[in-house]
Amino acid sequence: MSLIKQLWLAIITLLLLSFIGSLAISITTSRDYIEQEVRIKNEDNATALALSMSQLDKDLVTLELLIAAQFDTGYYRQITLRDTDDSVLIERTAEEYSGDVPAWFRQLVEFDVPSGIATIQDGWRQYGTLELESQHSFAYTSLWRSMLELAAWFLLAGVISLAIATVIVRGIKHPLSRVVSQAQDISARRFTTIKEPRTLELRQVTQAMNVLSANVHQMLSHESHKLDELRRHLQHDRVTGALNRDVFMGKLSSQLSSDDARASGMLVMVRVQDLETLNEQLGYADTDQLLATLVSQLGQLDSASAEPIIGRLNGSDFIFMLPLMDDVEELRIQVMAALAEVAATAPNVEIYLPTAIVPYAPHDERGTLLATLDDALAQAESLTSFEQVVVRQRERVSLYSTHAEWRTALETAILVGPELAYFPVINTKGDILHYECPARLNLAGEWQTAGVFIPWITRFDMEPALDLAVVKKALSNLQTDPKPVGINLSAASITNTQFVNDLRALLATQPLLAKQLCFEVPATLSTHAIGSLRGLCTALRPLGCTFGIEHVGAEFTKLADLHDVGLSYLKMDSSLIHALHASTEQQTIVRGMATLCHSLGIEVIGEGVADDEELVCLFRVGVDGATGPGVHHA
């Protein structure tokens, strides 16, 4: 039996005991009082009547008339006149009871009052004895009315008491429910914090559990920052903070091989010309500061990524990747402004920063892109002006020529409905964890991948409409093939209240199918989006949905902020998995991430696994699952 039920049982029992006890005491007291009053009345009336009869002639007719007059008042059950030989001279008797008091009550409080007895004198000698017994009907009625009034008062008091008890129990139940929910969250390794209740005992328990959650959050923050420091130490250039060549090349390969929106953008390569001469003129410390300023200025051009993707290919060459950037002219102006800021840090020295800008698209060859950059950079070096920026435009075939055509085509495609591609996610035993299901839209007569239409979807703020359409399609497919599927949700969708309400209403109509859905959100979440993710998880978790976070790389430090969300799994970005078997540094980072996630009960899945060597190494370092072109399910 629950504590609340026990508390209610105790309250009701106490109220009943109080009512029954008070009623019993009241009835007993009233009964004793009435018996005493009736006994006195019997004696007084008998004495008064006997005295009246003693003063009259002892004519039986006269005495009988006097007794009849007294009896006919209705207050007496029996009046008897006996002579000295105890013979009955006159007797008047009424019915045992008259009234509407229930028989069970009369039996319960049956009066036991002795008759009033008085002696009748005839001069100096005794004439007889008068015995008088009062009628108890009025006493029963009075006591019955008193009991009803008392019961009505106790009923009213009971209702008021239960109302007050309801408020008190509710005041205990709500914080108790929060404490229970927090305990369940902690048992599920979701270290949440709650408001401290006013109840002393519950407040002490809550304080202890909140301290535990705070300690876990602090531990997570500390460990994730240590891991991030290790990653930076192993993957980044110590002077400028840029990525090492191998790490950058791995990220570039991962982006080019993916089908998401970040697979298109711009590459910028900057060369610090005559670096040795700058070292002689400025000194090594100032030159290093100049290079760090260059990386910082370039990084400020990318406001969408948690960490700008800038690599140092060698001593003087830096390469910068800007996903989603499609305006070449705007980028050229921004790059020139950034380079001018760098040159201004050393006004007394001529600084030449030849630069090449080349767009990239999904499935471009990495070698071809780098060769194009080198060729453009050589052309930039040959320029004599300080504005040594060369842009290599590439012909891009757009599906539609105007924004209006794109909008109309996207609205139509979403209305018709997307198709889902299925890519397996397997565990160490080769069993299916779920299927990744990226969306395809029918545009220009063909099913296009996300890399083609997501930039336009984002530009027109159509992410919620697309995501809802994808969920509807997934539910439709689950009716014929009930295998767990992973659905991507954009940050714009989870921060849209209407989308969350529509999604919950949709899933509530098909609760059995909702349990087969895994919702994945991008790792690049703002603080506001993280708060919205908590609300989304709270709304959908009762329906059995699971949640994961994808493309986790440099954003791993945010895990401390997500420890109370209730994530089921985390997918490591393919840039961390690329050539994992050949890099002990990457293995160290991946192993540390897996260990930290396992301490929170979160499964770790590697993305973009290309071959069996990466797959074997991935599982060896403690990762739970894998997906990518090198993952196949029999």
Domain count for the chain: 4
Cα 602 to Cα 189, 434, 518: the distances in Å are: 9, 15, 14
Amino acid 257 reads S
Is the pLDDT assigned to residue 259 strictly greater than 80?
no
Does 440 map to a domain? yes
Does 618 map to a domain? no
Same domain (yes/no): 412, 515? yes
Contact 426, 432 (CB under 8 A): yes
pLDDT score, position 571 = 92
CB-based contacts of 224, cutoff 8 Å, min separation 6: 556, 557, 559, 560, 596
Average pLDDT over residues 360-380: 87
Q: What is the DSSP string of 528-575?
A: HHHHHHHHHHHHHGGGT-EEEEEEESGGGGGGGGGTTT--SEEEE-HH
The CA R_g of the chain, rounded to the nearest whole Å, is 47
pLDDT score, position 574 = 85
Q: What tens digit of pLDDT does each residue of 579-597 get?
A: 888 888 889 889 988 988 8
CB atoms < 10 A from the CB of 20, how many? Answer: 11
The winner for highest mean pLDDT among 1-15, 387-401, 507-521 is 507-521
Tokens 């996300």 found at: 450
Distance CA 233, CA 66 (A): 124
Give residue 425's pLDDT band: very low, low, confident or very high (50, 70, 90).
very high
Is the pLDDT assigned to residue 305 strictly greater than 80?
no
| Length of the chain as a residue count | 634
Does 88 map to a domain? yes
Cα 201 to Cα 169, 206, 219, 422: the distances in Å are: 15, 9, 27, 52
Does 313 map to a domain? yes
Q: What tens digit of pLDDT does each residue of 344-355 get?
A: 888 888 888 899
CATH number at residue 89: 3.30.110.200
Does 289 map to a domain? yes
Give residue 96's pLDDT band: very low, low, confident or very high (50, 70, 90).
low
Boundary of a domain, candidates 117, 142, 160: 160
Boundary of a domain, candidates 348, 365, 391: 391
Distance CA 157, CA 163 (A): 10
Same domain (yes/no): 431, 512? yes
Distance CA 130, CA 27 (A): 32
Three-point CA angle 410, 413, 417, nearest 5°: 135
Task: Give, to the nearest 10 degrees, the angle between helix 284-299 and helix 275-282.
Answer: 120
Give the closest residue to 608 by CA, choosing from 589, 626, 634.
626
Average pLDDT over residues 562-576: 83
Q: In the numeric block, which tokens belong to residue 366?
A: 């990495």
Same domain (yes/no): 550, 532? yes
Amino acid 371 reads A
Does 580 map to a domain? no
pLDDT score, position 135 = 80
Is the pLDDT assigned to residue 516 strictly greater than 90?
yes
Q: In the numeric block, which tokens belong to residue 141?
A: 């009625």
Average pLDDT over residues 289-316: 87
Same domain (yes/no): 257, 231? no
Residue 526 DSSP class: -
Distance CA 561, CA 148 (A): 64
pLDDT score, position 554 = 61
Q: What tens digit of pLDDT does each residue of 6-65 get?
A: 777 888 888 888 888 888 888 888 888 888 888 888 888 888 888 888 888 778 888 888
Contact 511, 544 (CB under 8 A): yes
Same domain (yes/no): 415, 560? yes
Q: What is the DSSP string of 478-516?
A: HTT----EEEE--HHHHT-HHHHHHHHHHHHT-HHHHTT
Q: Which residues pair with 132 in a beta bridge?
A: 79, 116
Ranking 412-426, 473-487, 499-513, 561-575 by mean pLDDT, the lowest is 561-575
Contact 81, 120 (CB under 8 A): yes
Same domain (yes/no): 407, 554? yes
Boundary of a domain, candidates 343, 358, 391: 391
* Domain extent for 414: 403-567
Same domain (yes/no): 34, 122? yes
Dihedral over Cα of 387, 389, 390, 391: its sign: negative
Same domain (yes/no): 63, 195? no
CATH number at residue 329: 3.30.70.270
Same domain (yes/no): 425, 293? no
Does 263 map to a domain? yes
Same domain (yes/no): 97, 147? yes
Q: What tens digit of pLDDT does each residue of 471-515 get?
A: 999 999 999 988 999 999 998 999 999 999 999 999 999 988 999
Is the pLDDT assigned to residue 419 strictly greater than 90?
yes
- Residue 289 three-state SS: helix
Does 175 map to a domain? no
Distance CA 374, CA 60 (A): 149
pLDDT score, position 268 = 92
pLDDT score, position 174 = 78
Beta strands per DSSP E along 222-354: 265-271, 309-312, 317-323
| Edge-to-edge strand list for the sheet holding 439-443 | 419-420, 439-443, 446-448
Cα 276 to Cα 72, 180, 302: the distances in Å are: 138, 66, 29
Q: In the numeric block, which tokens belong to residue 481?
A: 């093939």
Give the closest residue to 244 by CA, choosing from 314, 323, 291.
314
Give residue 108's pLDDT band: very low, low, confident or very high (50, 70, 90).
confident
Please list, residue by residue across 322-343, b when 16 or more beta carbons sit within 10 angstroms of its beta carbon and e when fewer do.
Answer: bbbbeebeebbebbbebbeebb
Distance CA 320, CA 270 (A): 8
Q: What are phi and psi of 145, to 5 degrees?
A: -65, -40
Q: Beta strand pairing status for 546-552 and 517-522?
A: parallel
Same domain (yes/no): 148, 37? yes
Same domain (yes/no): 463, 385? no
Distance CA 605, CA 580 (A): 14
- Residue 376 three-state SS: helix
Average pLDDT over residues 275-298: 88
Give residue 162's pLDDT band: very low, low, confident or very high (50, 70, 90).
confident
CATH number at residue 495: 3.20.20.450
Contact 546, 520 (CB under 8 A): no
